[in-house]
Structure 1
Amino acid sequence: MARDNINDILVFLAVARERSFTRAAAKMGMTQSALSHIIRSLESRMGVRLLTRTTRSVSPTEAGERLLLNVAPRLEEIEAEIAAISDLGDKPAGTVRITAIDHTVDTVLWPRIAPLLHEYPDLHVEFSSDYRLVDIAAERYDIGVRHGDQVDKDMIAVRLTEDMPMMIVGSPAYFATRAKPTSLQELLRHNCIALRFSGSGGVYAWELLDQGRPIEARVRGQTLFTSIYPMCDAALAGCGLAFLSETMVGEHVRAGRLVSVMPDWCPTFPGLHAYYPSRRNTSRALALVVDAIRLKT
């Protein structure tokens, strides 16, 4: 196959995975028009349509789906072998792509990885802050971060943090004119600060405990965010109640800036784990990053 065909197939795979020319162009650092031209040229040479385009979406045709399912894994094997050969050099090199929420990147991953970058100048790390439960294999991430009970059993999991107590908090100013909730019914009448998942558009239901029994509280309020940082800021500003981890709000509670309520209703979530696919040849770059971010006992 001509080398140009391989490059063009890589472009097709990016568009097919993203289901969007816009997102694929941003990821590849190219213009949408350039991507469209490459796809049309590839389709012309192959004599078959690979993508179905509408004004609102892009999806693979039957031929495109076959290319995606059968050719993509082979190209990934080639990339893995090239990375393995590069690992035979004196210095670990390559890019490790990680997906995690912003708070985890800031407080767990970055402090542990930053020293590694000074030591290994040919090592590159790409962080993607995302609240979705990302399929790291499909989206070509090397590492994902989730709570321990959310990691698929076919993944290798490495603990990053201790288990994480959750808290329902509000500011003293908020409670100056409102009674503190003591039951689910009372909680649902409060102005609650909610989290919307940017990928699915769904709103997170608070995972609480009713006398030890897991329940979901579909709270409502005046504010919706797609990140937990502004949720904490909104709670500090007296805009409502927030359901956040002790690692994020515990210091504010101890300082009196926030008040914890309904502690018996708040669960302790399993600690954060880094997870990655089981591979026969794990690159030295990936192994270095995993070792740097694991919880040291």
Structure 2
Amino acid sequence: MKPYSMEAIRIFLAVAEARSFTAAAIRLGVTPAAASKAVKLLEAQHGVMVFVRNTRRVALTEAGSALYASLLAATAQIDDAFLALTRYRDRPAGTLRLTVPRALGALVLKDLAPRFRHAYPDVALDISLDDGEVDLLEHGFDAGIRLGHQVAQDMVAVRLTEDLHWSVVAAPAYLARVGRPNIPEDLVRHATVRYRFHRSKVLAPWGFVRDGDSFQVETGQQLVVNDTGLIADFARSGLGLAYLPDIEIADDLAARRLERVLQPFVSRTPGLFLYFAAKTQSQPKLRAFIDMATAGAIP
């Protein structure tokens, strides 16, 4: 057991400053008997008298004066520590931990992160790249960025982008060599570059729409990776068809390094959302990030 208590320290300091058990007790909202008992217990635990008492006054002993001086310095440090704590309440500060998808998250953060750090230098960003579903509270994250359908229903979700347009793409050289698929079912005869989720190990589906009905086509697994940036690299190299969001390959499409196929059949999906637990959004660091992220949302 500790040879002291914070309550005993509080009473000792009050008595030392007031030079009176009665005055100290009134100040602290305790009885004079309780104040006297706490000091006696402190003296008994340490085997040293800290006060000289008589019917007229209370005075510090030499040992009591030394203890008082030391505790004053210590309590000043404690006061400073709690004063510093208010900066987390009054202005954005501390570390903001984010989980974001690898390629799509980088697209959102490449401009947002520098702007945020410049505007809020007291907030450090700790960014984890992960395409799978992540429990924020379990893994200690303040917020995450994910596609809309990946956000748990008990989270607050703030839209960052419009719905995503996707494309099945390939390098011109691949299409010249193998030909172009005309309907989604033709994909079973093509080489494809597939994405596997890191945590669940599930292959990401290739979704299509025909006459208002949604369906999926299961392609081959000759080349499977868990990084969408690498999928785009492999597609540019002519290794097969890839299924990717347009915002990730916009430059490749514009430069014709990649070409679309099956465009009338490719569906859209919910866009990217910033998500977080409702009880955490009052933190100034997270509130500032939410405001900046939504103000600069990607169209």
Same fold, TM-score > 0.5, yes or no: yes
Cα distance in 2 between the residues matched to 1:270 and 1:83: 42
Q: CA deviation at 1:280?
A: 6.9
Cα distance in 2 between the residues matched to 1:242 and 1:280: 38
Amino acid in the other structure paired with 1:283: Q
5+ residue gaps, structure 2, are: 3-81
Deviations 1:42-82 (A, max 9, x none): xxxxxxxxxxxxxxxxxxxxxxxxxxxxxxxxxxxxxxx99
Which residue matches 2:193? Answer: 193
Which residue matches 1:259? Answer: 259
Cα distance in 1 between the residues matched to 2:215 and 2:147: 18
Q: CA deviation at 1:86?
A: 3.9
Flag the structure with higher helix content. Answer: 2
Which residue matches 1:63? Answer: none
Q: CA deviation at 1:148?
A: 2.4
Which residue matches 1:269? Answer: 269
With over 3 angstroms needed to count, the CA separation of the structure-2 counterparts of 1:172 and 1:123, relative to structure 1, is same
With over 3 angstroms needed to count, the CA separation of the structure-2 counterparts of 1:290 and 1:267, relative to structure 1, is same
1:291 aligns to 2:291 (yes or no): yes
1:183 aligns to 2:183 (yes or no): yes
With over 3 angstroms needed to count, the CA separation of the structure-2 counterparts of 1:262 and 1:291, relative to structure 1, is same
Deviations 1:105-125 (A, max 9, x none): 321123112122123222011
1:87 aligns to 2:88 (yes or no): yes
Q: CA deviation at 1:228?
A: 0.4
Output aligned runs, 1:202-213, within 5 Å.
202-213=202-213
Deviations 1:166-204 (A, max 9, x none): 000011100112121112321121100011111122221
Q: CA deviation at 1:132?
A: 0.7
Detail structure 1 runs of 4+ shifted over 6 Å in the superposition. 81-84
Cα distance in 1 between the residues matched to 2:212 and 2:84: 48
Q: CA deviation at 1:281?
A: 6.4
The answer to whether the 8 A contact 1:205-1:219 is kept is: no
Deviations 1:126-185 (A, max 9, x none): 111111111212222111112223323322111111221000001110011212111232
Cα distance in 2 between the residues matched to 1:272 and 1:141: 17
Output aligned runs, 1:1-297, within 5 Å.
85-89=86-90, 91-279=91-279, 282-296=282-296
The answer to whether the 8 A contact 1:163-1:270 is kept is: yes
Amino acid in the other structure paired with 2:270: P
The answer to whether the 8 A contact 1:197-1:204 is kept is: yes
With over 3 angstroms needed to count, the CA separation of the structure-2 counterparts of 1:161 and 1:187, relative to structure 1, is same
| Higher CA-based Rg | 2
Which residue matches 1:33? Answer: none
Corresponding pairs, count: 218
Which residue matches 1:52? Answer: none
With over 3 angstroms needed to count, the CA separation of the structure-2 counterparts of 1:295 and 1:273, relative to structure 1, is farther
The answer to whether the 8 A contact 2:169-2:243 is kept is: yes
Cα distance in 1 between the residues matched to 2:130 and 2:85: 28
SS in structure 1 opposite 2:194?
strand
Cα distance in 1 between the residues matched to 2:85 and 2:286: 11
5+ residue gaps, structure 1, are: 3-80
Q: CA deviation at 1:246?
A: 0.8
Which residue matches 2:8? Answer: none
SS in structure 2 opposite 1:108?
helix
Amino acid in the other structure paired with 1:157: A
Q: CA deviation at 1:269?
A: 1.4
Cα distance in 2 between the residues matched to 1:84 and 1:188: 60
SS in structure 1 opposite 2:158?
strand
Cα distance in 1 between the residues matched to 2:202 and 2:84: 38
Cα distance in 2 between the residues matched to 1:87 and 1:285: 8
Amino acid in the other structure paired with 1:278: A
